[in-house]
Amino acid sequence: MDLPLATIGGGFGWIDWSVVAIYFAATTIIGGALAGRQATMRDFFLGGRKLPWYAVSGSIIATEISALTFISVPFVVFKPGGNFTYLQLGVFGSLFARIIVGYVLVPAYYRREVYSPYDYMGHRLGSGVRSAATALFMVGGMLAQSARVYLTAVVLRVVLHDQFGALAGATGIPELVWAVIAIGVVAIAWTLMGGITTVIWTDVVLFLVFLIGAGTALAVVASNLGGGLTEMLRVGAADGKFRFFDFSMQPWEQYTIWTAAIAATWGGLGAYGTDQLLAQRMFCCKDARQARWAIISSAAGQIVTVTVMLVGVGLYAYYQQNPLTGDAAALYQEKGDSIFPIFIMQVIPTGLKGLIIAGVFAAAISSLDSIMAALSQTTMSAFYLPVRRRRREASRTAGHPLDDAAEDRRNVRVSRLFVILWGVILCVLAVVAEAASRRYPSILDLGLAMAGYAGGGLFAGFLLAFLPLKIDGRGYLFSAPLSLLTVFALVWHAEWAQWTCWIAGAALVAAWLCALLHRPTGTPRYGKRFLETLVLLAGVGLMIWLCRYGYWQVPDENGEIISRTIAWPWYAPVGSVVAFVWGYLLSNPRANATSPHVRSS
């Protein structure tokens, strides 16, 4: 976006800046006061398991909603043909998923003290599965959260064009990069201050700001309409904006009753139950009962979603009476998600504008500090702590004294270093996300789709560990990357994507053959190995075939033939089926698979 943004109208004055400063100062003070002393990893990553369910629920809502919902959902309703069908995913899919997670997954996690779902998988299937699931979560987390930070950076660039423009002019660094840096610096500072406890309590404050900001925006839209709220509802109803159900059977349609009841429920089980970004909060509750209340009650976040969808109806009615012109119209044509930020700049009164932008800014920070805490914790559990335990055991064997208190302090310091590292990586990916955004009709779809690449594989890992299958984790080590590649193959079909699938598939088969050659000595079972190799080759062949032929040629609204792939809510179901089926077929039977000492071969 290289448009002269200053001509859009409005501005961000000292009163707005004061509101933003007061919000951040108050939130920082509250978060710091409630953080307490972070003496151990249990304090830093689990909040000492003493946080109340209502705080955890508010944090889940704030993390799930984020700036992605607050800014992009109004555009989903505002755009031509837009309506309330998106709400089906929340009313049906995510609600069903929350109930299942609360009554099935939460009790399983609370039977032992674990820091993440991947620790649970590791206890049941072996340390190799924990590492594979952690790596899969890292991929999905980086893709999804970088898209959310990118969206907020776009919003801040529109609203704070004067400030970021001056920095860009002085340094040569693009405005979008400065916006990402601003988000990243505050997010890292908040996370370092008090770990997950600070993250959760600042999320609670953010949830309240969301409610106030969404309500304020709706009131301002209605008050600026000739005819007020009545006219808004009339225009919305006349143009089908309140349409809720969509019974279309087309697999490329995102918001249908079938994607809501089946795909969104299936994907929600992975998102709420096995994605550490949200699951980490459940582990901070006192017991399984409070964790269940936290996850199920977080369905109340749909109130915010409905409110911002009504904002979209209001924007549609407002711009019917006051059409976009000039650079504002050009900006909307280039990036449709900018419609709400344009309205904020042009119409929202001074002071209230600062409140709404504070909420948007804080939403991005909430998403970023949440994923940084989750990535830091999983990195520690899967990679750093096993190495430290081996070294401490060697020291103990050699007769050297061990200082557990010093080790706890060391682990907290290393955790903070991982927070900084992941913060930098995510900010870099947020800048890169602009290229991927061109493939999706809105940044909302982009952000939600990115999580689906890995979400299915994570849920399959839980099922393999939870169900009484009496298997080890060997198969999951290969089925997890295969599931990620299969989703990629369904989405991307260009020549470069086909080459990527061939190369990745060959690497996966090579890794499998190497694993067979290095199996422990014993009675060879050549027939079983041969059949397993054929099973893996079939999975790789299916993935390559889907990349080449897994799409539909259909006419668009203008009659031109275009290629369509499956809608993003189906990414997670497809990934989980592949990860589960191939994970089971490639595994070894093991009678004591529930032992925490099981080693994946």
520 in the same domain as 429 = no
Mean pLDDT of 579-601: 68
209 inside domain = yes
- Residue (of 256, 279, 312) closest to 568 by Cα position: 256
Question: Is 57 found in the same domain as 30?
Answer: yes
Taking a C-beta distance cutoff of 8 angstroms, is the pair 40, 211 a contact?
no
The sign of the dihedral angle between the CA atoms of 62, 68, 72, 76 is: negative
pTM for the model stands at: 0.79
For residue 38, is pLDDT > 60? no
Average pLDDT of the chain, as a whole number: 81
Per-residue pLDDT at 47 = 57
Q: Same domain, yes or no, for 438 and 492?
A: no
Rounded Cα–Cα distance for residues 209 and 423 (Å): 24
Domain range holding 530?
Answer: 469-601
Note whether 341 and 449 are same-domain residues. Answer: yes
Are 515 and 374 contained in the same domain?
no
Do 455 and 496 have their domain in common? no
CA 370 to chain centre: 10
In a domain, 409, yes or no: no
Which residue, of 466, 495, 523, is where some domain finishes? 466
363 plus 374 within the same structural domain: yes
- Overall average pLDDT of the 501-529 stretch: 81
- Residue 42 pLDDT greater than 70, yes or no: no
pLDDT attached to residue 586: 93
Q: Rounded mean pLDDT of 282-286?
A: 82
Cα distance between residue 20 and residue 16, in whole Å: 6
Lowest mean pLDDT among 65-79, 189-203, 436-450: 436-450
Half-sphere exposure of residue 495, counting CA atoms within 13 Å on the CB side?
0
Q: What's the confidence (pLDDT) of residue 436?
A: 65
**In Å, what is the CA distance from 286 to each residue of 113, 143, 308, 387?**
11, 31, 33, 30
The answer to whether residue 581 scores a pLDDT higher than 80 is yes
Residues 213, 50 contacting (CB under 8 angstroms): no
Q: Which two tokens stand for residue 90?
A: 């929340």
Predicted local distance difference test score (pLDDT) of residue 37:
55
The confidence score (pLDDT) of residue 35 equals: 58
**518 is a domain residue:** yes
**SS3 at position 51:** strand
How large is the average pLDDT for residues 420-437?
81
pLDDT band for position 44 (50/70/90)? low
CA distances from 438 to 103, 328, 332, 433 (A): 39, 20, 14, 9
pLDDT band per the 50, 70, 90 thresholds, residue 507: very high
Is the pLDDT at 19 greater than 50, yes or no? yes
Is 313 part of a structural domain of the chain?
Answer: yes
DSSP string, 188-207: HHHHHHHHHHHHHHHHHHHH
313-334 average pLDDT score: 86
CA–CA dist 277, 148 (Å, integer): 13
Least confident interval from 12-26, 117-131, 166-180, 398-412: 398-412
Structural domain includes residue 542 = yes
Query: Average of pLDDT values for 247-264?
Result: 88
Q: How far is CA 352 from CA 68, 217, 424, 502, in A?
A: 20, 9, 32, 53
Rounded mean pLDDT of 52-71? Answer: 81
Mean of the pLDDT values across residues 66-91? 85
Of 55-69, 220-234, 446-460, where does the model show the most confidence?
Answer: 220-234
Decide if 414 is inside a domain.
no
Above 80 in pLDDT, residue 499?
yes
Of 407, 441, 466, the residue at which a domain comes to its end is: 466
What's at 202, amino acid-wise? T
**pLDDT-above-90 percentage for the chain:** 20
A 10 A CB-CB count for 7 gives: 12
Q: What is the pLDDT of residue 235?
A: 92
Same domain, residue pair 370 and 519: no
Same domain, 28 and 90: yes
Average pLDDT of the residues in 210-239: 88
Encoded tokens for 76: 């989903």
Amino acid letter, 109: Y
Least confident span in 191-200, 323-332, 523-532, 547-556: 191-200
For residue 62, pLDDT over 90 is answered with no
**pLDDT above 50 (res 3):** no
476 and 500 share a domain? yes
In a domain, 487, yes or no: yes
* Res 36 pLDDT > 80: no
Residues in the chain: 601
b/e code 100-131 from CB counts within 10 Å (16+ = b): bbbeebbebbbeeebbbbbbbbbbbbbbbbbb
* C-alpha Rg value of the chain to the nearest Å: 25
> Between 209 and 33, whose confidence is greater?
209
**Residue 63: CB partners within 8 Å, gap ≥ 6?**
203, 277, 278, 281, 366, 367, 370
Residue 48: what pLDDT?
Answer: 59
Sign of CA dihedral 33, 34, 35, 36: positive
Same domain, 450 and 530: no
Confidence of residue 399 (pLDDT cuts 50, 70, 90): confident
Q: Could you identify the residue written with the tokens 């080449």? A: 548
247 DSSP 8-state letter: -
SS3 category, 110: coil
CATH number at residue 67: 1.20.1730.10
Would 600 be classed as within a structural domain? yes
pLDDT of 595 higher than 60: no
**pLDDT tens per residue, range 157-214:** 766 777 777 888 888 888 888 888 888 887 787 777 656 677 777 777 777 877 788 8
Same domain, 183 and 124: yes
* Segments in 79-126 forming alpha helices (H): 87-88, 95-100, 106-109, 117-125
The pLDDT value given to residue 521: 52
Task: Kindly write down the DSSP assignment for every residue of 533-596, as one continuous string.
Answer: HHHHHHHHHHHHHHHHH-SEEEE-TTS-EEEE---GGGHHHHHHHHHHHHHHHTS-B-TTTT-T
Using the predicted structure, report yes or no on whether residue 600 has a pLDDT greater than 60: no
Total domain count, the chain? 2
| Helix, coil or strand: residue 104 | helix
Task: Write the pLDDT tens digit of every residue in 477-495.
Answer: 999 999 999 999 998 888 8
Which of 398, 433, 466 corresponds to the end of one domain? 466
Q: Say whether pLDDT at 375 is over 60.
A: yes
Of the listed ranges 63-67, 210-214, 338-342, 536-540, the least confidently predicted one is 63-67
Q: Per-residue pLDDT averaged across 553-567, rounded?
A: 79
Residue among 544, 564, 440, 427 nearest 489 (CA): 544
- Position 596 confidence tier, pLDDT thresholds 50, 70, 90: very low
* Sign of the four-CA dihedral 223, 226, 227, 231: negative
Nearest to 357 by CA among 16, 9, 65: 16
Residue 563 vs residue 365, higher pLDDT: 563
**Which pLDDT band holds residue 574 (cuts at 50, 70, 90)?**
very high
Q: Indicate whether 241 pLDDT > 90.
A: yes
pLDDT of 100 reads 92
Name the residue with higher pLDDT: 48 or 114: 114
